[in-house]
Amino acid sequence: MADGHRHGRGTSDITPSHAAQLRALNIDRVLRIAVDRPGAFTRTELIHETGLSAPTVGSVTGHLIRAGVLRDLGTAPSRGGRRPGLMEFNSHHGFVAGIDLGPTRTRLGLADMRGAQLAMRIVGTPVREPADTMATLTTELREMMQGASVAEERLLALVVGVPGPVDLGTGTVVYAPNLAGWRQVPLRAMLHASFSGAVVIENDVNLALLGEHWLGAARGHGTCAFMFVGTGIGAAILIDGSLHHGHHYMAGEIGAIVTAPEHVGADFGSHGCLETLAGIAALRNRWDPDGAQPADRWFAALMEAHQRGDPVAVRAVEETACLVGMATAQLGAVVDPSVIILGGSMFAEHSPLVDAVRRVVRQIARTPFEVELSALGKAAPLAGCLLVGAREAQRALRQRLRGSKQRMVR
pLDDT of 261 reads: 77
pLDDT of 80 reads: 62
pLDDT bucket at 311, cuts 50 / 70 / 90: very high
pLDDT digits (tens, 9 = 90+) for 331-385: 999 999 999 999 999 998 778 999 999 999 999 999 999 999 999 999 999 999 9
Is residue 300 pLDDT above 70, yes or no?
yes
Is residue 140 pLDDT above 50, yes or no?
yes
Q: Is 70 left (phi over 0), alpha (psi -120 to 50) or beta?
A: beta
Mention the CATH class of domain 95-208+380-395. alpha beta
pTM over 0.95: no
Residues facing 72 on adjacent strands: 87
**pLDDT above 90: percentage of residues in the chain:** 77
Tell me the three state secondary structure of residue 191: helix
Handedness of CA 196, 201, 205, 211 (dihedral sign): negative
Angle at the Cα of 59 from the Cα atoms of 69 and 84, rounded to 5 degrees: 80
CB 221 within 8 A of CB 213: yes
Where in the chain are all domains bearing CATH 3.30.420.40?
95-208+380-395, 219-374
Cα–Cα distance, 157 to 392 (Å, whole number): 6
Average of per-residue pLDDT values in the chain: 90
**pLDDT above 70: percentage of residues in the chain:** 91
CATH assignment of 219-374? 3.30.420.40
Question: CATH fold of 4-90, please?
Answer: Arc Repressor Mutant, subunit A (1.10.10)
pLDDT digits (tens, 9 = 90+) for 229-283: 988 899 999 999 999 999 999 999 999 888 777 777 766 555 678 998 999 999 9
pLDDT of 256 reads: 87
Residues 6+ apart with CB under 8 A from 223: 238, 239, 240, 335, 336, 337, 338
CA 215 to chain centre: 10
pLDDT bucket at 7, cuts 50 / 70 / 90: very low
Tell me the three state secondary structure of residue 236: strand
Per-residue pLDDT averaged across 82-90, rounded? 88
Q: In a 10 Å sphere around its CB, with 0-12 CB exposed, 13-18 middle and 19+ buried, how is residue 19 labelled?
A: middle
Q: Is 373 left (phi over 0), alpha (psi -120 to 50) or beta?
A: beta
Is residue 295 pLDDT above 60, yes or no?
yes
DSSP 199: E
Which residue type is seen at 115? Answer: G
Range from 11-15, 293-297, 401-405 carrying the lowest mean pLDDT: 11-15
pLDDT digits (tens, 9 = 90+) for 188-222: 999 999 999 999 999 999 999 999 999 999 999 99
Which residue type is seen at 93? Answer: H
Cα–Cα distance, 74 to 72 (Å, whole number): 6
Handedness of CA 125, 198, 217, 355 (dihedral sign): positive
pLDDT of 331 reads: 97
List, in sequence order, the alpha helices (H) in 193-297.
204-215, 274-278, 280-287
**Widest distance between CA atoms in the chain:** 86
Per-residue pLDDT averaged across 291-313, rounded? 93
pLDDT bucket at 286, cuts 50 / 70 / 90: very high
pLDDT of 270 reads: 59
DSSP string over 75-112: EPPPSSSSPPEEEEE-TTSSEEEEEEE-SSEEEEEEEE
Residues 6+ apart with CB under 8 A from 130: 173, 179, 181, 182, 185, 187, 190
pLDDT of 406 reads: 43
CA 39 to chain centre: 24
Q: Which of 67, 76, 340, 388 is nearest to 214 (CA)?
A: 388
pLDDT of 266 reads: 67
Tell me the three state secondary structure of residue 20: helix
Long-range contacts of 295-302 (CB under 8 A, 24+ apart): 299/345
A 10 A CB-CB count for 266 gives: 10
DSSP 125: P
A 10 A CB-CB count for 288 gives: 20
